Amino acid sequence: MNKGKVLMLGWEYAPFYSGGLGIVTRSIVNSLKKQGMDIILVLPKVPFELNEDQLEIINASKVKIESPESIIYSDIEINSLLTAYSTSYSYKERINKLIEIGAKEMSDKTANEVYGTNLFNEVERYAQKAAKIAEKYPHQVIHTHDWMTAKAGLAAKKVSNKPMVMHIHATEFERSAGNPNQDVYEIEREGMNGASKIIAVSERTKEKIVSNYGVSEDKVVVVHNAIEKYPQAKRIGKKINKTDKIVLFLGRLTLQKGAEFLLEAAEKVLRHKRRVKFVFIGHGDMLPFLIKRSIDLGIEKKVMFTGFMDHEDVDKAYQMADVYVMPSVDEPFGITTLEAIKNGTPVIISKQSGVSEVIVNALKVDFWDIDELANQILSVIRYNPLSKCIAQNAEEELKRLDWDKQCKKIMNVYEQVNSK
């Protein structure tokens, strides 16, 4: 398929992004272009024009369709999937139980309460627009990203009769900590059954696809996420103050990401070492609970919640941090781990993460084991030789994970579906 055309149906694309999917999509596009592919990238809404050589971005909001009278569509800008899974449910009592027993629980909100009516409507409308686009723009393969674009991929496939590759960055089982929303699950299952091949970001995610969606194992190909080539990062000496160590968390403040476990571990760390600050970057519906919990634990002066940060500021935060912690309850991959390593930061990661399959030089812990997490944090911030050893060895590992290599695997998938 060298010099072929890919119709890629995305939900966000850096710099139009609010989470990791936008960055990953950009990296995949850039590497596919290097290898001779032309990309037609369709996005639900684009704030301004951005086209490059071998890349044409189509703003789906400008594609006219006849909407069924039964569905009232809004003109709101669509958020990425990375902000689409929040709920207003109060976690106070259940999260305490979660920490105690290490169980995976989730709000039993209905689809509309969790995802919002507009999101489902936009998914349907995006699918209709994808069909029109597929009819107009010649292509050899359709590449979709996650459940929001599954219907669009199937609609495009019906029009062009070209093979569809469904790229799964996270299943509904992973996002919901084991309690899937039925409506989203059905969309995912329909997309997976209609796809010629499925790309999973980890063996962990592949196992969930095979066991939960009725998909045969040989239909799923694992292509781990990677990171674009980068210059050597320079560590930033400036700290919050001269003596405090910095423990960093970055991610959505939702049940899946496990920020509450780090908060519980923080209280234990601070019993032994007071000169530590815990910085949480991100937003999400658990923020009010986390703020209150930090007050209840008596550590509110040692905890900072920054909200969303742009990529440049996030890199600076990594470079200032003494350790990065990813305590996810269920993480398909965990691209932030690679970003932290790129910036010279030692990492502690959940054993329940896909990235643990490819990064050996990290401390690993069960998300629920806050005692062990506290011990690992104390070890890294107390013993500088350990910190340097983890960071330096992990960076050597990172050199094996670049997008050019991973996209050759994606192109192999394209070749397979087009040879049938």
State the pLDDT at residue 80. 35
d(CA 281, CA 21) in angstroms, rounded, equals 17
List the one residue out of 344, 392, 349 whose CA is nearest residue 250: 349
pLDDT digits (tens, 9 = 90+) for 385-419: 999 999 999 999 998 888 999 999 999 999 999 98
Instruction: Note the pLDDT of residue 243.
Output: 83
Instruction: Specify the residue for token string 């609970």.
Output: 289
Average of per-residue pLDDT values in the chain: 85
Model pLDDT for residues 220-256, shown as the tens digit of each residue: 999 999 988 766 666 666 566 778 999 999 998 988 8
Q: Which of 75-84, 303-312, 406-415 has the lowest mean pLDDT?
A: 75-84
**Fold: same for 5-227+402-418 and 245-398:** yes
Instruction: With cut-offs at 50, 70 and 90, classify the pLDDT of residue 215.
Output: very high
Is residue 104 a contact partner of residue 329, using CB atoms and an 8 Å limit?
yes
Residue 70 — pLDDT band, cuts 50, 70, 90? very low
Q: Is the pLDDT of residue 97 over 50?
A: no
Binned at pLDDT 50, 70 and 90, residue 64 comes out as confident
Question: Residue 377 pLDDT more than 50?
Answer: yes
Q: How far lies 364's CA from each of 160, 178, 232, 386, in Å?
A: 46, 21, 25, 14
Confidence of residue 115 (pLDDT cuts 50, 70, 90): low
Weakest-pLDDT range from 16-20, 78-82, 328-332, 360-364: 78-82
> Contact, 189 vs 211, CB < 8 A?
no
Decide if pLDDT at 354 tops 70. yes
- What is the b/e burial string over 281-291, where b = at least 16 CB atoms within 10 angstroms of the residue's CB? bbbbbbbebbb
Which residue do the tokens 């405090």 mark?
244
Mean pLDDT of 95-116: 42
pLDDT at 32 over 80: yes
CA 135, CA 58: separation in Å to the nearest integer? 14
Burial class (CB within 10 angstroms; exposed 0-12, middle 13-18, buried 19+) of 111: middle
Backbone angles phi, psi at 347, to 5 degrees: -125, 145
Is the per-residue pLDDT at 88 higher than 80? no
Q: Which residue has the higher pLDDT, 59 or 305?
A: 305
Q: Strands across the sheet with 141-145, in order?
A: 55-59, 38-43, 5-9, 141-145, 164-168, 197-200, 220-222
Cα–Cα distances (Å) from 393 to 41, 150, 244, 338, 361, in that order, read 37, 39, 25, 13, 6
Q: Please check the confidence at residue 141 and state whether its pLDDT lies above 80.
A: yes
The residues spanned by each domain of the chain are: 5-227+402-418, 245-398
pLDDT at 378: 98
DSSP assignment, residue 85?
A: S
pLDDT of residue 19: 65
Number of residues that this document lists for the chain: 420
More confident call, 227 vs 371: 371
Structure tokens at 30: 């850039």
Tell me the three state secondary structure of residue 64. Answer: coil
Most confident region among 68-72, 183-187, 346-350 by mean pLDDT: 346-350
User: What top-level class would CATH report for the domain 245-398?
Assistant: alpha beta
- Alpha carbon distance 266, 293 (integer Å): 11
Q: How confident is the model at residue 370, as a pLDDT?
A: 97
Please tell me the CATH code under which domain 5-227+402-418 is placed: 3.40.50.2000
**How much is the pLDDT for 240?**
67
| Interval 269-297: pLDDT, tens | 999 999 999 999 999 989 999 999 999 99
Percent of residues, the chain, with pLDDT higher than 90: 65
